[in-house]
Amino acid sequence: MGEDDSTIHKGLRAPKAAAIAGMLFCVLLVTSQLLVWSSLPANLGGPALDVVSHSGTISLALNLLPFAGIAFLWFIAVVRNHMGAREDRFFSTVLLGSGLLYVSMVFTSAALAGGLIRVLINTPEMLAQTGAYALGRAQVYQSMNVYGIKMASVFMFSTSTILLRTGIVPRWIAFLGYALAAMLLLSVGIILWITLVFPMWVLVVSVAILLQNLSGCASQK
């Protein structure tokens, strides 16, 4: 394989890896969210014993989150690598910083929830009587649904700008990212389903990248 063929092969392989990582992130995060929603009462002050009865399902959901975070980090790295010389340092720095902060918020929420479940299984009465259970759930929701979502919106703004400038995906996906990012940034309070907006947009970007990669492979034959 010559140098030109190696460069082409590397260029085609990078977006495919990003697409797979993005789709894996979406599947894992959405699955985790749905498992949690199906196991927890909607009311933050709901009975603690209801959580204990679904502790196995919740633990499974929490164990999926580290793998979702790893897939998202891989998605960021491969997308930046694919930009190459076209990379904008300013927006690339914002993309990387907001992406890392988003993963930090996800991991923090998972760690808080995991610790809460462990204590709840052993001493449910103590948590319920002291109000620690309600406080812990509120902290988890604030970390994920407020701070995490805001970092996701910043990531979407910066990524959409980069996608628009580089033409990696169709322009409408970048404009969709702007609209959804504005909705996440301006959202007030805790809206249960809004955490799904970000992974679904990453899925759309990943599918678009994969389709372009497949068409690029076909054109090289």
Could you give the percent of the chain with pLDDT greater than 70?
77
Per-residue pLDDT, 7 = 40
Q: What is the pLDDT of residues 13-71, one digit of tens each?
A: 556 777 889 999 999 999 999 988 887 765 555 566 667 777 788 889 999 999 999 99
Q: What value does the mean pLDDT of the chain take?
A: 80
Per-residue pLDDT, 179 = 95
Distances (CA, A) of 107 to 8, 43, 52, 144, 164: 37, 23, 21, 9, 30
Distances (CA, A) of 37 to 9, 33, 58, 212: 42, 6, 9, 35
Per-residue pLDDT, 12 = 41
Per-residue pLDDT, 182 = 94
Q: What is the pLDDT of residues 139-166, one digit of tens each?
A: 888 888 888 999 999 999 999 988 888 7
In eight-state DSSP terms, residue 167 is: T
The pTM score is 0.82
**Domain ranges (residues) in the chain:** 18-220
Euclidean distance between CA atoms 163 and 35, whole angstroms: 32
